[in-house]
Structures are given as structure tokens and as C-alpha cells.
């Protein structure tokens, strides 16, 4: 699909346009955090529990930190965890799925049974256990989320590879003496790309929500501001009890906006790139 045709198809879908606009909000916050925020997110710059005003747009927390600055810088942490954990999950899922689907036989059986075992673990509980064991940090969260989120990707890739390896162009390449590695990299993987892009976008949502949940439980990196960490401190330091809505609502709203933006975009990409769902 040409880039111009793809852009036109994307522009014709209101959900796609809405999703991109929504996602551009946290993306712009993450990129231009240093220019947007008036204060350092970790500096005590006001009185405790200040309500939103001209100096502090979203007020302050219990020790006088500017909540708007924390919210803006928190977008960097949340998006970083979501994107990098997705990269790890995609690499593992594609690798396992391609090897299992193309090789078949005992290797397929071993890899899929291992995938089934990992799928039986309660995802969130297992992530919590791993983080509690290795210690809360940004990189530990990225790795733990990534190494547990690849299973559904692997099963999807395997099913596609089983279909693709029976195509005539793959059989012709095999007959001409092409190696398995060459066929998988030259023919199989490019055919999977259009199906993996929407999955990757939706997997980022899982990573962001998981990071927010872990941080809210106190298992996030306490040195890096994030939306989940803002909610954790609001719950631990009396924000909910005192009714400090400016401490609670904005991070929850940003999580919802980012998730909706990615969900709308991922669904639109799936409709455009998946031949079975194309409407144009």
C-alpha cells in the first residue's frame, strides 16, 4: 500500500483522526516537557495542597510540588515503559511464533507448550511478583512487562506463518534452494508486518496501563514521575481523603486519553492493513 493511499484511508476514518489527535496530547507533553513545565517535577515550589491557580495550573501536592509539572514529565515515563516493553514483547513473540510456525515438528510443539504454560500465569499478578523480587525501577518494569506480554503475539504470528509458508512464492523459493533463514526474513516477516503494526499499537496500551497499575501499588520507580505514581502518592498522602480532585483527576484523565487514542488508532490501522477488513 502506497503512503498516499494509506494516509487517505486513515483520514477517512473519524476514529483514526480522533485517536491520533488524542495520542498527540501526551506525545507532545513528553517531547516538550522542558518547555511546557514552569517548575521541576521534584522541586517544592509552593504551599501544600494549593488549589489550581495562575501560579500552579493544577495545584500542588502535600509537600508543595507542582502537579502540572509532575503530570507533564510523567508522560515520558508512561510512554517510555509502554513503547519499550512493546518492543521486547514483539521481538520475543515474532521470534517464537516464526520459529514454531515455519519449523513445525518437535520445535513447534515445545515452543507452543511453553507459550501455553506462560499464558496460564495470571499476567498482572506475575508481573507484580517479578517486580517485587527484582526491585522497582523503570528498566525492571520494561523488562518484566515485555517478557510476559509476548505470548498472544507468538500464537498470532504462528497461525499466520502456517498459512504463509504454503504460499506458492514460498514453495518456489524453497525449490530454488533458498535457506529457511532467508525465506523467513525475505518473504515471511515482511508479510507479517502489516498485521503486527496494529497489534504493536494495542500492546503499548497494555504496557501503559500495567505501568500505571504497578506505580499505583507502589511498585514503580519512586525517582521518576509517572501518572500511576501521582495517584499512588495521592492515595498514600491523603489526597483522596481531603478531596483534592486536582491531584487525582488529571493523571487518571491522561491515562484514559492516551489509552483511547491508541485504541482508536490501532483499530483503524487494523481495518486498513488487514485485507479481510478493508473497506476501500
| pLDDT tens digits, 256-271 | 999 999 998 888 887 7
Over the chain, what is the mean pLDDT? 85
CATH of the domain at 268: 1.10.3720.10
Q: Rounded CA gap, 161 and 270, in Å?
A: 18
pLDDT, tens digit, for every residue of 16-28?
888 889 999 999 9
CA distances from 207 to 58, 123, 178, 194 (A): 26, 12, 38, 21
Greater confidence, 94 or 179?
Answer: 94
Residue 114 lies in a domain: yes
280 has a pLDDT exceeding 50: no
The residue-averaged pLDDT of 235-258 equals 87
78 has a pLDDT exceeding 80: yes
Residue 1 lies in a domain: no
At 7, give phi and psi (nearest 5°): -65, -40
220: number of Cβ within 10 Å: 28
Q: Into how many domains does the chain fold?
A: 1
Greater confidence, 218 or 3?
Answer: 218
Residues of 237-266 as b/e, b for ≥16 C-beta within 10 angstroms?
bbbeeeebebbbebbeebbeebbbbbbbbb
125 has a pLDDT exceeding 50: yes
Classify 148 as helix, strand or coil.
Answer: helix
Residue 16 lies in a domain: no
CB 99 within 8 A of CB 278: no
Classify 218 as helix, strand or coil.
Answer: coil
Taking Cα atoms as reference points, which of 253, 240, 266 lies closest to residue 62? 240
Among 8-12, 28-32, 47-51, 123-127, the range of highest mean pLDDT: 28-32
pLDDT of residue 256: 93
Domain span including residue 126? 75-277
Q: Rounded CA gap, 82 and 84, in Å?
A: 6
Question: Between 123-134 and 189-216, two packed helices, what is the crossing angle to 10 degrees?
Answer: 70
Greater confidence, 20 or 135?
Answer: 20
The residue-averaged pLDDT of 3-32 equals 80
Q: Rounded CA gap, 200 and 251, in Å?
A: 24
The residue-averaged pLDDT of 128-145 equals 87
Percentage of the residues of the chain whose pLDDT score is greater than 90: 27
Residue 7 lies in a domain: no
Residue 40 lies in a domain: no
pLDDT of residue 192: 84
Q: Rounded CA gap, 247 and 58, in Å?
A: 7
Residue 10 lies in a domain: no
Residue 20 lies in a domain: no
The residue-averaged pLDDT of 141-159 equals 90
Residue 28 lies in a domain: no
- DSSP at 13: -
Amino acid at each position: 500500500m502506497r503512503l498516499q493511499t494509506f494516509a487517505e484511508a486513515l483520514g477517512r476514518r473519524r476514529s483514526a483522526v480522533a485517536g491520533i489527535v488524542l495520542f498527540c496530547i501526551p506525545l507532545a507533553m513528553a517531547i516538550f516537557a522542558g518547555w511546557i513545565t514552569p517548575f521541576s517535577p521534584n522541586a517544592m515550589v509552593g504551599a501544600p495542597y494549593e488549589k489550581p491557580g495562575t501560579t500552579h495550573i493544577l495545584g500542588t501536592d502535600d509537600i508543595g510540588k507542582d502537579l502540572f509539572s509532575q503530570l507533564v514529565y510523567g508522560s515520558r515515563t508512561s510512554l517510555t515503559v509502554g513503547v519499550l516493553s512493546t518492543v521486547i514483547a514483539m521481538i520475543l513473540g515474532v521470534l517464537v511464533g516464526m520459529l514454531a510456525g515455519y519449523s513445525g515438528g518437535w520445535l513447534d510443539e515445545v515452543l507452543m507448550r511453553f507459550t501455553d504454560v506462560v499464558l496460564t500465569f495470571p499476567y498482572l499478578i506475575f508481573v507484580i511478583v517479578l517486580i517485587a523480587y527484582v526491585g522497582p525501577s523503570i528498566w525492571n518494569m520494561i523488562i518484566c512487562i515485555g517478557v510476559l506480554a509476548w505470548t498472544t503475539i507468538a500464537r498470532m504470528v504462528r497461525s499466520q506463518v502456517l498459512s504463509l509458508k504454503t504460499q506458492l512464492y514460498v514453495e518456489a523459493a524453497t525449490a530454488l534452494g533458498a535457506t529457511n533463514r532467508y525465506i523467513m526474513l525475505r518473504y515471511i516477516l515482511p508479510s507479517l508486518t502489516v498485521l503486527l503494526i496494529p497489534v504493536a499499537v494495542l500492546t503499548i496500551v497494555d504496557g501503559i496501563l500495567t505501568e500505571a497499575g504497578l506505580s499505583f501499588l507502589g511498585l514503580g520507580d519512586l525517582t521518576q514521575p509517572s501518572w500511576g505514581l501521582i495517584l499512588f502518592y495521592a492515595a498514600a498522602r491523603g489526597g483522596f481523603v481531603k478531596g483534592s480532585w486536582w491531584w487525582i483527576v488529571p493523571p487518571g484523565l491522561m491515562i484514559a486519553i492516551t489509552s483511547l487514542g491508541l485504541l482508536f488508532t490501532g483499530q483503524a490501522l487494523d481495518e486498513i492493513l488487514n485485507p479481510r477488513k478493508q473497506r476501500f
